């Protein structure tokens, strides 16, 4: 049986589907009824891999429906799709072309299908996203307050108080959701044994990085976007950089690392050694982020709480 690869370009109202090597293309509505019919057709085709782009949640229904049917679906970062299109000389852009480009991406790049989030995990992710939005609003309001005229200061202060209450409520909602899941409760308890991992980082890892503990340290670093990438061309030898990956996880890991540098003796000593060796603070912090992620991955993989000796083996 020949391998079949499918690319799906997601829009608000429709899904454009491309199948290779059969060179078939069709469109369906982005709604429950049409997606149900699409899933049945895809099951008959028995594809090797299906690729969609993350499009702000518009892909959720389709990806979840395919995942529930045990179809091999991978949701990729849109930048990966754009970079691939440029690399293959595909300049023109239409929905049908985008779908075929994604099918070619599936065939040539073979991204690994990831476990889809179940309902509780989607709820936890939504709560975390909303909390981050509230924090952004709170920061903006506090910045406005410092230069606000007297006539609106009271209004801003009242909004700040409301945002504080909502953030506390979001924290409680996330905590209850975790405690109601034995698996999450165990993982959360393990993660928090590490000095530097608080509730926000723990929830971010549980919701945004479900692969934690299931893959090796190199792959987990690539997922988060912490693997250093070369920037060399000809005689030019550039700095090694990190980019891509899951920005929300990386952001939370950054804040957790700053805490660990202060309160965790292993990370603190590692940071000080790097600084003493002449590394710039930003480079040293990034290296500490990588080390912290590696340690946490090993803790979850082995179901063991934080042990300073573990750091010597990771």
Paired sense of beta strands 236-237 and 14-20, if any: unpaired
Residue 281 has what pLDDT? 95
What's the pLDDT tens digit per position in 111-149?
888 756 667 777 888 888 899 899 999 999 999 998 999
Q: Domain coordinates of the chain in residue numbers?
A: 5-109, 119-180, 199-311
Contact 220, 211 (CB under 8 A): yes
Instruction: pLDDT band for 230, please (50, 70, 90 cuts).
Output: very low
Per-residue model confidence (pLDDT) at position 228: 58
Q: Which residues of 1-34 are buried (b: 16+ CB within 10 A; e: fewer)?
A: eeebbbbbbbeeeebbbbbbeeeebebbebeeee
pLDDT of residue 128: 87
Residue 28 in tokens: 């369906």
Average pLDDT over residues 296-301: 92
pLDDT more than 70, % of the chain: 89
Residue 236 pLDDT: 44
Model confidence at 226: pLDDT above 90 = no
Over residues 213-231, the mean pLDDT reads: 79
Say which residues have a Cβ less than 8 Å from residue 287's Cβ, sequence separation at least 6: 270, 274, 279
Average pLDDT in the 282-300 region?
A: 94
pLDDT of residue 59: 85
Give per-residue pLDDT as tens, 44-92.
Answer: 999 999 999 888 778 878 887 887 788 899 988 888 888 898 888 776 5
Would you tell me how many other CB atoms lie within 10 Å of the CB of residue 302? 12
Strands (DSSP E) contained in 5-112 are: 5-10, 14-20, 24-29, 49-53, 73-76
pLDDT score, position 232: 43
Q: Looking at per-residue confidence, does 307 or 243 come out higher?
A: 307
Residue range 5-109 in CATH 3.30.420.40 = yes
> Averaged over 144-166, what is the pLDDT?
94
| pTM recorded for the entire structure | 0.65
Mean pLDDT score of the chain, rounded to an integer? 86
d(CA 128, CA 126): 5
Provide the strand spans (E) within the chain.
Answer: 5-10, 14-20, 24-29, 49-53, 73-76, 232-233, 236-237
Pairing outcome for strands 5-10 and 14-20: antiparallel
CB atoms within 10 A of CB 312: 8
More confidently predicted of 184 and 18: 18
Question: What local confidence, expressed as pLDDT, does residue 124 receive?
Answer: 85
Tokens of 284: 């040293």
Tens-place pLDDT, residues 254-281: 999 999 999 999 999 999 999 999 999 9
């Amino acid at each position: 049986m020949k391998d079949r690869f499918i690319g799906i370009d997601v829009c608000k109202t429709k899904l454009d589907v491309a199948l290779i090597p059969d060179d078939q293309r069709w469109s369906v509505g982005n709604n429950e009824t049409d997606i149900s019919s699409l899933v049945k057709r895809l099951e008959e085709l028995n594809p090797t891999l299906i690729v969609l782009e993350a499009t702000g949640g518009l892909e959720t229904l389709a990806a979840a429906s395919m995942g529930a049917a045990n179809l091999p679906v991978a949701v990729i970062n849109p930048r990966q799709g754009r970079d691939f299109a440029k690399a293959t000389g595909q300049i023109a852009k239409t929905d049908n072309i985008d779908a075929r480009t994604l099918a070619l991406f599936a065939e040539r790049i073979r991204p690994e299908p990831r476990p889809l989030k179940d309902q509780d995990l989607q709820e936890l992710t939504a709560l975390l996203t909303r909390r981050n939005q509230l924090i952004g609003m709170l920061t903006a309001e506090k910045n406005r307050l410092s230069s606000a005229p007297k006539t609106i200061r009271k209004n801003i202060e009242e909004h700040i108080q409301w945002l504080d209450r909502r953030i506390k409520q979001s924290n409680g909602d996330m905590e209850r959701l975790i405690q109601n899941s034995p698996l999450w409760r165990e993982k959360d308890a393990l993660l928090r044994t590490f000095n530097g991992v608080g509730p926000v980082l723990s929830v971010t890892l549980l919701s945004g990085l479900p692969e934690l503990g299931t893959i090796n340290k190199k792959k987990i670093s690539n997922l988060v976007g912490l693997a250093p990438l070369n920037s060399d061309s000809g005689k030019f030898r550039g700095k090694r950089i990190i980019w891509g990956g899951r920005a929300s996880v990386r952001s939370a890991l950054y804040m957790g690392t700053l805490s660990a540098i202060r309160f965790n003796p292993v990370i603190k000593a590692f940071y000080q050694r790097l600084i003493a060796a002449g590394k710039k603070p930003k480079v040293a912090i990034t290296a500490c982020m990588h080390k912290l992620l590696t340690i946490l991955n090993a803790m979850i993989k082995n179901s063991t709480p934080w042990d300073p000796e573990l750091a010597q083996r990771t």
